[in-house]
């Protein structure tokens, strides 16, 4: 069986470096190019690969998506902070190429999301839900993509409109907490890799579901599992739920 030919888009970032290191340890994966803002390599100069792995910025993901569509290359992306228009483009691209997007590639955090869905469905509106996320001081977007994903999981499980109930940050005289609100608080400090806690506060008791990343290898391993899996898929839009369901 031939190796999976991989391009790493965002190779100079923390995740890009972690993915490259794990690829070097994986006999079935061959990195044919790494692209970063600080090097002279551009996508237009490259031969098509089997899969492009993108951990960049929203504008970088847009460029990578256009190149993948042109060359019919499968795309795995964990880039966060993307807007609604780019999300629509990713889903639309799935009609032509295999596309895999997840704000967090960790197997553990996605299993935590399944637990959150179960708790939210069981507790319904009897619990106040707050999400607390913490990342390193260099992370540019807030709330994190994972926190937003967890909020969406809660809203969906409770039959709520995400845009109507999610509140990011509170300040000043913000009034009494509305029933059904899903709050998100963000912390940026030091070298925190990524912590996410979903708090279900009930009268007289509380349930917390927490995932804590201690290094980036967990995210990188998840991205490579997604790469291996996507290489065998037909065109479509996929996420971690599809990968976990196939395991």
Check if 139 is active-site: yes
Which one from 139, 167, 196, 232 is the annotated catalytic residue? 139
- The DSSP call for residue 37 is T
Residue 205 CB: number of other CB atoms within 10 A? Answer: 8
Name the pairing type of β-strands 205-213 and 194-202: antiparallel
- Name beta bridge partners: 197: 132, 210
| Size of the chain in residues | 247
Which one from 9, 135, 196, 211 is the annotated catalytic residue? 135
Q: What angle do CA 122, 128, 132 make, to 5 degrees?
A: 105
Peptide bond connecting 161 to the previous residue in cis, omega within 30 degrees of 0: no
Spatial contact of 159 and 170, defined as CB atoms under 8 Å apart: no
Residue 58 CB: number of other CB atoms within 10 A? Answer: 14
Q: Which residues are catalytic?
A: 135, 139
């Amino acid at each position: 069986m031939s190796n999976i030919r991989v391009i790493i888009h965002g190779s100079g970032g923390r995740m890009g470096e972690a993915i490259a290191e794990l690829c070097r340890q994986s006999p079935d994966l061959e990195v044919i190019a790494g692209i970063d803002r600080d090097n002279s390599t551009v996508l237009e100069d490259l031969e098509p690969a089997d899969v492009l792995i993108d951990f960049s910025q929203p504008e970088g993901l847009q460029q990578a998506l256009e190149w993948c569509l042109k060359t019919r290359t499968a795309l795995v992306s964990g880039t966060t902070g993307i807007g609604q228009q780019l999300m629509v483009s990713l889903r639309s691209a799935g009609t032509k190429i295999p596309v895999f997007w997840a704000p967090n590639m960790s197997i553990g955090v996605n299993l935590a999301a399944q637990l959150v869905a179960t708790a939210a469905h069981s507790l319904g509106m009897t619990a106040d839900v707050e999400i607390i996320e913490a990342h390193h001081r260099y992370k540019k977007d807030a709330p994190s993509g994972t926190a937003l994903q967890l909020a969406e999981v809660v809203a969906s499980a409770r039959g709520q409109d995400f845009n109507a109930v999610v509140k990011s940050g509170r300040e000043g005289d913000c009034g009494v907490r509305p029933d059904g609100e899903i709050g998100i608080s963000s912390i940026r400090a030091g070298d925190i890799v990524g912590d996410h806690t979903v708090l279900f506060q009930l009268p007289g008791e509380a349930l917390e579901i927490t995932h804590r990343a201690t290094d980036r290898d967990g995210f990188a391993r998840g991205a490579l599992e997604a790469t291996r899996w996507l290489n065998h898929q037909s065109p479509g839009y996929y996420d971690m739920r599809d990968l976990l369901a196939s395991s």
